[in-house]
């Protein structure tokens, strides 16, 4: 089959790899400049900072199989077994940042970036996708992995109706600060990450301690309620507020360079119970972390499940 995947985040790339390995012809489209979606790593000067997902855990044997291969290939490494207390569950990170996991998965795929899909329409022979530059792509089936509100917009002109729970699925947003420091902060306890340290931040990650940055660089993520309250403010204003809130965590270090980041669709609030959804009368499949759970593992399992469904169709 000719299968299109919309979204080169973890879910789309896992699905595309499985389908490619089963000899289907797969084309992946993403509106971003690169692959990864919420697996995102940014360079500021020589510093390297993860600004989306910070780490991941593994609970299912199915995901463990893939992670074991990534460990052997040096794509990921174990960061720690918990923040504060060790709970025996490994926290893994991309060895060159989380986006490197996506780059690794994309290696043998036909991935087209800077391609924003604007509509997905069932056609007599399958599906037709239209992009914002007016071009179209015809395929036998499509896997759409964008966050659900974006998927709803993509399907607006089609006859496909999503179940009400999916249609109205809401996401928590996240505001983040990337801060490059002139020296290490000694206020972030080993292993270089703290969860829910105060009223502003849900996570602070030390990218040097995590082993991805050659120089001191911290990632700050704000709580959903703080993020919601400030989301529509100018980015510059948000950056000032976050730098101010970050001060107690910097110790004697100074911020020498920083960026703020808005994640509008960071975390789905009530994920769908099944690992993917198929339109009743069209070869249109929805997948992503809104299905198998709002984390890296959920996104991966959703991608694997939708590929399995397509292969046995
Ligand atoms: C700030 C933050 C921190 C997080 N921290 C963690 C963590 O520590 N651990 C953890 O396990 N999880 C974490 N997560 C969640 C994790 O990142 C996600 O669950 C996972 O990456 C989602 O993958 P996905 O493939 O489902 O979606 P995405 O990664 O969002 O991929 C969807 C892709 O679709 C593309 N797209 C959207 N619309 C279109 C369109 N019209 N045309 C073409 N392409 C389109 C997007 O560009 C994107 O690349 C975090 C998320 C955020 C935002």
Helix (H) / strand (E) element for 150: namely helix 148-154
Q: Best of 5, 6, 8, 9 to mutate for ligand 1, by most ligand atoms within 8 A of CB?
A: 9
Mean pLDDT for 227-241 is 98
3-state secondary structure of 226: helix
Q: Does residue 44 fall inside a structural domain?
A: no
Q: In whole angstroms, what is the distance from residue 147 CA to residue 18 CA?
A: 21
pLDDT of residue 86: 84
Q: Does residue 75 fall inside a structural domain?
A: no
Q: Best of 5, 7, 82 to mutate for ligand 1, by most ligand atoms within 8 A of CB?
A: 7
- How far apart are the CA of 37 and the centre of ligand 1, in A? 5
pTM above 0.85, yes or no: yes
- How far apart are the CA of 38 and the centre of ligand 1, in A? 3
3-state secondary structure of 50: strand
Residue 107 and residue 245 in one domain:
no
Q: Does residue 81 fall inside a structural domain?
A: no
Ligand 1 pocket check for 293: Cβ under 6 Å: no
Mean pLDDT for 140-153 is 98
Q: Does residue 24 fall inside a structural domain?
A: yes
- How far apart are the CA of 283 and the centre of ligand 1, in A? 23
pLDDT of residue 62: 98
Ligand 1 pocket check for 227: Cβ under 6 Å: no
Report CA dihedral (9, 162, 169, 287) to the nearest 10 degrees: -20
Mean pLDDT for 133-145 is 98
pLDDT of residue 88: 86
The answer to whether residues 160 and 279 touch, using CB atoms and an 8 Å cutoff, is yes
- How far apart are the CA of 186 and the centre of ligand 1, in A? 31
Ligand 1 pocket check for 41: Cβ under 6 Å: no
Of ligand 1's atoms, which has the minimum distance to the CA of residue 261? 1
Residue 254 and residue 182 in one domain:
yes
Q: In whole angstroms, what is the distance from residue 71 CA to residue 59 CA?
A: 16
Residue 175 and residue 164 in one domain:
no
Q: Does residue 125 fall inside a structural domain?
A: yes
Of ligand 1's atoms, which has the minimum distance to the CA of residue 36? 49
Residue pLDDT, tens place only, 84-133: 888 889 999 999 999 999 999 999 999 999 999 999 999 999 999 999 99
Of ligand 1's atoms, which has the minimum distance to the CA of residue 287? 26
CA nearest to 300, candidates 22, 35, 25, 65: 65
State the CATH number of the domain containing residue 192.
3.90.660.10
Higher pLDDT, 55 or 84: 55
Ligand 1 pocket check for 12: Cβ under 6 Å: yes
Q: In whole angstroms, what is the distance from residue 186 CA to residue 184 CA?
A: 6
Ligand 1, atom 5, lies closest to the CA of 53
Q: What is the 8-class DSSP label of residue 182?
A: S
Contacts for 52 with CB less than 8 Å, ≥ 6 apart? 36, 37, 38, 39, 40, 98, 263
Residue 35 and residue 178 in one domain:
no
Ligand 1 pocket check for 129: Cβ under 6 Å: no
The yes-or-no verdict on residue 65 having pLDDT over 90 is yes
Residue 236 and residue 145 in one domain:
no
Residue 15 and residue 152 in one domain:
yes
State the CATH number of the domain containing residue 114.
3.50.50.60
Ligand 1, atom 37, lies closest to the CA of 146
Q: What is the 8-class DSSP label of residue 36?
A: B
Residue 18 and residue 107 in one domain:
yes
CA nearest to 145, candidates 300, 313, 308, 312: 300
Residue 157 and residue 302 in one domain:
yes
Mean pLDDT computed over every residue of the chain:
97
Q: Does residue 76 fall inside a structural domain?
A: no
As a residue count, the chain comes to: 313
CB atoms within 10 A of CB 40: 22
Ligand 1 pocket check for 296: Cβ under 6 Å: yes
Mean pLDDT for 176-186 is 96
Contacts for 62 with CB less than 8 Å, ≥ 6 apart? 301, 304
Q: What angle do CA 262, 268, 272 make, to 5 degrees?
A: 160
3-state secondary structure of 193: strand
Of ligand 1's atoms, which has the minimum distance to the CA of residue 118? 41
Contacts for 178 with CB less than 8 Å, ≥ 6 apart? 42, 44, 49, 51, 217, 218, 219, 220, 258, 259, 260, 261
Residue 239 and residue 117 in one domain:
no
Q: Does residue 243 fall inside a structural domain?
A: yes
Contacts for 141 with CB less than 8 Å, ≥ 6 apart? 1, 3, 4, 126, 127, 283, 284, 285, 310, 313
- pLDDT tier at 292 (50, 70, 90 boundaries)? confident
Residue 182 and residue 243 in one domain:
yes
Q: Does residue 293 fall inside a structural domain?
A: yes
- The total domain count for the chain is 2
Residue 200 and residue 293 in one domain:
no
Q: In whole angstroms, what is the distance from residue 166 CA to residue 118 CA?
A: 19
Residue 195 and residue 291 in one domain:
no
* Alpha carbon of residue 14 to chain centroid: 12
Q: Could you tell me the residue range of the domain that residue 177 belongs to? A: 171-268
Per the DSSP assignment, residues forming a β-bridge with 127 are 122, 139
């Amino acid at each position: 089959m000719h299968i299109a995947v919309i979204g080169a985040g973890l879910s789309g790339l896992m699905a595309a790899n499985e389908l490619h390995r089963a000899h289907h012809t797969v084309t992946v489209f993403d509106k971003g400049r690169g692959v990864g979606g919420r697996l995102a790593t940014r360079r500021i000067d020589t510093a390297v900072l993860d600004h989306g997902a910070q780490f991941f855990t593994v609970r299912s044997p199915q995901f463990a199989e893939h992670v074991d291969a990534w460990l052997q290939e040096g794509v990921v490494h174990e960061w720690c077994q918990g923040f504060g207390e060790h709970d025996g569950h490994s926290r893994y990170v991309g060895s060159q940042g989380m986006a490197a996991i996506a780059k690794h998965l994309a290696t043998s795929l036909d991935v087209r970036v800077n391609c924003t899909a604007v509509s997905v329409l069932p056609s007599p022979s399958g599906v037709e996708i239209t992009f914002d530059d007016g071009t179209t792509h015809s395929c036998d089936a499509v896997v759409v992995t964008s966050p659900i509100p974006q998927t709803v917009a993509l399907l607006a002109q089609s006859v496909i109706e999503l179940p009400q729970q999916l249609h109205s699925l809401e996401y928590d947003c996240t505001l983040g600060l990337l801060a490059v420091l002139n020296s290490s902060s000694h206020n972030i306890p080993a292993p270089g990450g703290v969860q829910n340290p105060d009223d502003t931040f849900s996570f602070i990650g030390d990218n040097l301690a995590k082993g991805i940055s050659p120089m001191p660089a911290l990632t700050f993520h704000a709580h959903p309620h703080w993020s919601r309250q400030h989301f529509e403010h100018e980015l510059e204003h948000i950056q000032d507020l976050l730098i101010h809130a970050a001060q107690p965590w910097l110790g004697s270090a100074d911020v020498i360079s920083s960026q703020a980041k808005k994640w509008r669709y960071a975390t789905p609030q009530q994920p769908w119970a099944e690992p993917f959804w198929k339109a009743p009368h069209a070869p249109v499949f929805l997948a992503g972390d809104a299905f198998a759970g709002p984390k890296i593992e959920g996104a991966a399992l959703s991608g694997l499940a939708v590929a399995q469904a397509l292969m046995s169709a």
